[in-house]
Amino acid sequence: MFPTNAPPPAPPVQAKLSLVSVGPGTLELVPERARRALQEADTVIAYDLYLTWVRPLLRPEQDIITPPLTQEKHRAELAILHAQQGKKVALVSSGDIGIYAMAGLVFEDLPEQPGFEIEVIPGITSATACAALLGSPLTHDFATLSLSDLLCPWEWIETRASHIAQADLACVLYNVQSKARQEGVYRVLRLMLQHKHPDTVCGVVRNAYREGQEVRVTTLQDLLTQQFDMLTTIVIGNRFTAQKGKWMYTPRGYNAWQGDQQAKASADMPANLPAARAPAVWVFGGTRDGNALALQLAEMGEQVMLSVASALGREVAPQHPNLRLYDGPKGMAARRRALAGASAVIDATHPYAENITAQLQELTQELKLPYLRYQRPSSLNADQSGVQLVTGIAAAAQAAAAYTRVFLATGSKDLETYLQYAPAAQTFVRLTPQPEVLARALSLGIKPTQLCAAVGPFSREFNVAQWQAWHIEAVITKDSGEVGGFHAKRQAARELGIPLIVVQRPPAPAGALSEERAVLAALQEIKK
């Protein structure tokens, strides 16, 4: 017997493993049961970021273990080990620990008779957190899909995406885009577009309930023109999902659903959906005059999709409510899917862009789309003094072999070929200020002191000053037209008395138009 004045012995600590969900990123959304588990634990195990918003709940004497992000399996093993040692353990995950999180790893390694109590504490997952910020997009049946192929083959992801779209389920996309996995999301979106209307209402949420939170409502088609990251969640609606102000919502249904056949027909889309945009005129540019043409069309009331080839192209592209940008995947198959629903294609690419022009001609013929080729006028005229015409970049290198310091103004795509034919030349280049373009030039042996990164076109004065400073003896360029700065290059070369070696244009496609007004008139004729 213990003395009557002595406290009774403390009951033995019961070993316990709590799988704790702490929600999207703010203390006020942490469930009460999760708070208790954190406060009662002897050991807390988590990726350090997950503890950011619950640190006020932790006690100084607790053992806090924070393995790195990529060591999920190790975290699960540690949690089981500490519980087997008789401790109360809290294994922490953001969102809901049972959804794309740690609970599954624990149960994989858990013995049949673990010898300790185990509980799973539910939380607010990314799908419901983002849905709340967007309004109510998940009111009816929905699916979630992770786009990470680290633990799931990409073929499975695409198959699941296709079935989700065919079932017309609202969908939440997790792990949308990483630095190493840029194109996957666009492939999934195109699979969705095979079965969903381009104007399906969608939402994008970044950093839900955390610093830097971003929320926007958009459409399925417009998602193709956007960039994402691993902190982004995408919510794709079903055919009935609608936008109201800054919100999106999916009707609950009951007896309000319209007939399935009626809903499938674009002409009979439910009244609560925004009016579908008219089929867009696609403009393939990458040039100043291509951008100008796209803007003119938008100002005329046309719905325009302007294809841009790079981040720089997106930055310099015009802005207009009727104009959207496309910078999704390239290649024949991707463009074939992207052009579904286009009303016409205007090819305003560079006069030397033979491959893309041939591809667009083939695609438009296959898809039975009207095709118009705009090709800027040549700057060559009867007065070709100081100009030496050659038939390709190899011939240009041979023509410049007599000169020591050569300025190459034909762009980055011709740089490697030129250097193969002129390995001993001191080559000076002017390239667009894109990191990947500059890195490639440096990797090919161009010295930083022989490289200029800038966006043209450039004036005669600029060319004269630069070529004098570099002691240039010959200039290689293309017949890029006045808008491409050819006239200013020719003037500068004549002023300095140095030869201008010009790579001739490939033949223009039959029916090519050299005036913007002619293109606009031809398009209007097509639409009659």
Residue 6 located in a structural domain: no
- Is residue 286's pLDDT more than 90? no
Average pLDDT, integer, range 59-81: 91
Q: Which residues, other chains included, contact 81 with Cβ-Cβ below 8 Å and sequence gap of 6+?
A: none
Residues 184 and 203 both lie in one domain: yes
What CATH number does the domain containing 302 carry? 3.40.50.720
Which amino acid does the sequence have at 44?
Answer: V
Domain count for the chain: 4
Residue 7 is predicted with a pLDDT of: 53
From 41-55, 212-226, 246-260, the region with the lowest mean pLDDT = 246-260
Average pLDDT, integer, range 365-385: 85
Residues 158 and 215 both lie in one domain: yes
CA dist., res. 39 & res. 46, Å (int): 14
From 1-5, 120-124, 457-461, 469-473, the region with the lowest mean pLDDT = 1-5
Residue 258 is predicted with a pLDDT of: 45
Q: Are 193 and 340 in contact (CB under 8 A)?
A: yes
Cis preceding linkage at 457, omega within 30: yes
- Is residue 102's pLDDT more than 50? yes
What share of the chain in percent tops pLDDT 70? Answer: 92
From 3-17, 149-163, 256-270, 376-390, the region with the lowest mean pLDDT = 256-270
Which amino acid does the sequence have at 28?
Answer: E
Residues 132 and 221 both lie in one domain: yes
- Is residue 247's pLDDT more than 90? yes
Task: Give the phi and the psi of residue 45 in degrees, each rounded to 5.
Answer: -120, 130
Look up the pTM and report it: 0.51
Strand positions, DSSP E, 241-280:
242-244, 247-249
- Is residue 387's pLDDT more than 90? no
CA dist., res. 140 & res. 43, Å (int): 40
Residues 186 and 285 both lie in one domain: no
Residue 5 is predicted with a pLDDT of: 58
- Is residue 23's pLDDT more than 60? yes
From 4-8, 334-338, 358-362, 492-496, the region with the lowest mean pLDDT = 4-8
Buried b (16+ CB within 10 A) or exposed e, 384-419: eeebeebeebbbbbebbeebebbbbbbbbebbeebb
Residue 141 is predicted with a pLDDT of: 93
Q: Tell me: the pLDDT tens digits for 134-144?
A: 999 999 999 99
Single out the residue of 207, 231, 376, 201 nearest to residue 293, CA to CA.
376
Residue 60 is predicted with a pLDDT of: 93
User: What CA dihedral angle connects 502, 507, 508 and 511, to 10 degrees?
Assistant: 150
CA dist., res. 488 & res. 466, Å (int): 13
- Is residue 513's pLDDT more than 70? yes
Residues 304 and 198 both lie in one domain: no
Average pLDDT, integer, range 150-172: 92
Residues 94 and 207 both lie in one domain: no
Residues 344 and 460 both lie in one domain: no
Task: Give the phi and the psi of residue 456 in degrees, each rounded to 5.
Answer: -90, -165
What CATH number does the domain containing 97 carry? 3.40.1010.10
Structural domain including 345 reads 281-377+517-527
DSSP type of residue 374: B
Partners of 95 in the β-ladder: 23
Cα dihedral sign, 218-223-226-227? positive
CA dist., res. 335 & res. 129, Å (int): 35
Residues 239 and 136 both lie in one domain: yes
Residue 259 is predicted with a pLDDT of: 39
Residue 97 banded pLDDT, cuts 50, 70, 90: very high
Residue 65 is predicted with a pLDDT of: 94
Residue 351 is predicted with a pLDDT of: 86
Average pLDDT, integer, range 282-299: 88
CA dist., res. 348 & res. 338, Å (int): 17
Residue 383 is predicted with a pLDDT of: 66
- Is residue 9's pLDDT more than 60? no
Q: Tell me: the pLDDT tens digits for 430-469?
A: 988 888 889 888 988 889 999 999 887 889 999 999 999 9
Residue 321 banded pLDDT, cuts 50, 70, 90: confident
Residue 269 banded pLDDT, cuts 50, 70, 90: very low
Residue 402 banded pLDDT, cuts 50, 70, 90: confident
- Is residue 127's pLDDT more than 90? yes
CA dist., res. 84 & res. 121, Å (int): 20
Average pLDDT, integer, range 90-95: 94
Q: Taking the CA atoms of the chain, what radius of gyration do you get in angstroms?
A: 31
Residue 150 is predicted with a pLDDT of: 83
Residues 308 and 417 both lie in one domain: no
Residue 255 is predicted with a pLDDT of: 40
What CATH number does the domain containing 423 carry? 3.40.50.620
Q: Tell me: the pLDDT tens digits for 162-206?
A: 999 999 999 999 999 988 888 899 999 999 998 888 889 999 999
Residue 511 located in a structural domain: no
- Is residue 272's pLDDT more than 80? no
Residues 168 and 187 both lie in one domain: yes
Residues 133 and 197 both lie in one domain: yes
- Is residue 11's pLDDT more than 70? no
More confident residue, 216 or 271: 216
What share of the chain in percent tops pLDDT 90? Answer: 50
Residue 11 located in a structural domain: no
Mean pLDDT estimate for the chain: 86
Q: Quick count: other Cβ atoms within 10 Å of Cβ 461?
A: 12
- Of 85, 100, 123, the domain-final residue: 123
Residues 131 and 247 both lie in one domain: yes
More confident residue, 259 or 163: 163
Residue 110 banded pLDDT, cuts 50, 70, 90: very high
Q: Are 495 and 462 in contact (CB under 8 A)?
A: no
Q: Tell me: the pLDDT tens digits for 323-333?
A: 888 776 677 87
